[in-house]
Amino acid sequence: MTPRRTLLGTARLREGHTMRIGIIGAGEIGRTLTRAFSAGGHDVQVANSRGPETIDASALEHGAEAVTAAEAVQGKDVVILSVPFTRIPSLAALLTTVPDETVVIDTSNYFPHLGGPVEAVEKGQVESLWVAEQLGRPVVKAWNAVLAGTLQTKGVPVGTPGRIALPVAADSPEARRLAMRLVDESGFDPYDAGTLADSWRQQPMTPAYCTELGFEDLGPALEAADREEAPRNRVRMMERFAALTSAPTLDETVELNRSLHR
């Protein structure tokens, strides 16, 4: 893998019209993105599995609209899926009427201890390729390598010293650029991480996963990823969390993630 290390220019990222964005999933990641993009002037609709009346009002304070899942995917430039990994197949029927030009972004991660094992992934299929296969359409992988607390509290304007970078992977260069624009608007430097076949480099527990790296450090972290080591690191991290006597803070969690790779 040779990651692209050129940060797309701010002017290029900010070109274009106000986007129509649908977000499926109103957990911490989905809710934060809903707030960020509606505050930025985009037309945002958000849905969850329990109905629009159950969506937290805090997600809607900047003008986003709570809708049904079917409404959230229609007439959109972008659909963001922020649901647990093993729920992805349940969304396939929902997306069958969505045009090919709609960019679908997946934020999920594979954690077999939470959702159960997926045989194809256990046998080596890249997580994002499994997602695309289940949905029957291409996807972009973004916002999966950031903790919810980081996304909520550490996004800053472009050019701010120490700005955290996030990887974005997709097979379509156009879809990747659009997702990178949105990552930038959410407060983080977007890093072109190449194709979905390489997206395993940003999955749990690789050096780029939830370690709050800057743009110059993220490329080497992606390069250093070890595909066979990541599942073992996942087990090690579970053991470390189990040994804690209290819930770690955000910064402590980031440090735990970083410590796996020293």
**Which amino acid appears at position 187 of this protein?**
G
Domain ranges of the chain: 10-259
Are 31 and 24 spatial neighbours (Cβ–Cβ below 8 Å)? no
Mean pLDDT of all residues in 243-254: 96
* pLDDT tens-digit readout, 41-83: 999 999 999 999 999 999 999 999 999 999 999 999 999 999 9
At residue 15, the pLDDT reads: 55
Position 16 scores a pLDDT of: 55
Q: Give yes or no for residue 7 having a pLDDT over 60.
A: no
Kindly report, residue by residue over 169-192, the tens digit of the pLDDT. 999 999 999 999 999 999 999 999
Looking at the chain, the whole-number percentage of residues with pLDDT higher than 90 is 93
pLDDT tens for residues 93-150?
A: 999 999 999 999 999 999 999 999 999 999 999 999 999 999 999 999 999 999 999 9
Query: Which residues does residue 66 pair with via DSSP β-bridges, in sequence order?
Result: 46
Distance of CA 190 to the CA centre of its chain: 12
- The gap from C-alpha 22 to its chain's centroid, in whole angstroms, comes to 14
Q: Tell me, which fold does domain 10-259 have in CATH?
A: Rossmann fold (3.40.50)
| DSSP track, 51-111 | -GGGS-GGGGTTS-EE--HHHHTTT-SEEEE-S-GGGGGGGTGGGTTS-TTSEEEE-----
pTM: 0.93
Q: What angle do CA 241, 245, 248 make, to 5 degrees?
A: 55
* Cα–Cα distance, 203 to 107 (Å, whole number): 10
User: Which tens digits make up the pLDDT trace of 126-138?
Assistant: 999 999 999 999 9
Q: Is the pLDDT of residue 4 over 50?
A: no
Q: Is the pLDDT of residue 223 over 90?
A: yes
Q: What is the pLDDT of residue 5?
A: 40
